[in-house]
Chains A and B, each alone.
Chain A
């Protein structure tokens, strides 16, 4: 399984765009990249998944460069309710593991 590295924590302010980068230098050809969000005392919630280039949905965008050795989760115009831990998972579609996660704190 590819090892992932994310910043331990990040701070932002309401209304700003937040970009969280995940490094996965040994990503394999069949590996996908998936992001989850977790609030305290709740289970993780799926945010977005991609294989290459860019993926966008109603809550986030995922940017993946051509070499796929990193990926960036972009959250537009964050609010206080986006304060959570964000996990980057890399692996085959049926074999992924959670990395350490990034604790995002959004301030007023």
Chain B
């Protein structure tokens, strides 16, 4: 039973061409997170939503945006991908900000041509 679903698992885009990654959840959790994970590195938090309240990390580039149209879905938009944005992007949820664990999807691996 998939609980946090990320589509697609692999995404290829061209340098500078906008791309959107999607995440859906069946857990009805209030909080949704987006992480970036580069090869052999730890996941790095980009931002999170608590319900509709958006919380951006201070060092997240402006190139990265997010939308959460409803409880179940969250999108990561990369407006002008650069070569350095090639990475695994992980979506996670938690029941509330004061609750662990975070439930992760299996990620979307983004390649930039």
Distance from A65 Cβ to chain B, minimum over Cβ atoms (Å): 21
Chain B's interface size range is: 20 to 34
How does the 8 Å CB contact mask read for B83-98 relative to A, with 1 for contact and 0 for none? 0000010101000111
Q: Which of B45, B98, B100, B105 contacts A43 (CB 8 A)?
A: B105
Q: Which residues of A contact B92 (CB under 8 A)?
A: 43
Q: Which of A34, A93, A94, A97 contacts B45 (CB 8 A)?
A: A97
Nearest neighbor of B88 in chain A, beta-carbon distance: A41
Instruction: Evaluate contact between A43 and B42: CB separation under 8 angstroms.
Output: no
Instruction: Evaluate contact between B104 and A43: CB separation under 8 angstroms.
Output: yes
Q: Which of A34, A45, A96, A101 contacts B104 (CB 8 A)?
A: A45
Q: Which of B4, B42, B107, B109 contacts A101 (CB 8 A)?
A: B42
Chain A's interface size range is: 10 to 19
How does the 8 Å CB contact mask read for A93-105 relative to B, with 1 for contact and 0 for none? 1101111110000
Instruction: Evaluate contact between B102 and A98: CB separation under 8 angstroms.
Output: no
Check A41/B107 contact, CB under 8 A, given A87-B42, A98-B42, A101-B42: yes
Instruction: Evaluate contact between A41 and B100: CB separation under 8 angstroms.
Output: no
In the complex, A97→B48 CA distance in Å? 13
In the complex, A81→B102 CA distance in Å? 22
Q: Which residues of B contact A29 (CB under 8 A)?
A: none
Nearest neighbor of B43 in chain A, beta-carbon distance: A98
Distance from B105 Cβ to chain A, minimum over Cβ atoms (Å): 5
Check A93/B100 contact, CB under 8 A, given A43-B4, A43-B106: yes
Q: Which residues of B contact A32 (CB under 8 A)?
A: 100
Distance from B79 Cβ to chain A, minimum over Cβ atoms (Å): 24
Nearest neighbor of B42 in chain A, beta-carbon distance: A98
Nearest neighbor of A43 in chain B, beta-carbon distance: B104
Nearest neighbor of B99 in chain A, beta-carbon distance: A93
Binding site for B on A (CB under 8 A): 32, 34, 36, 41-46, 49, 87, 93-94, 96-101
List 10 contacting pairs A-B, 8 Å CB cutoff, sorted by A.
A34-B100, A41-B88, A43-B92, A43-B106, A49-B101, A87-B42, A94-B98, A97-B45, A98-B43, A101-B42
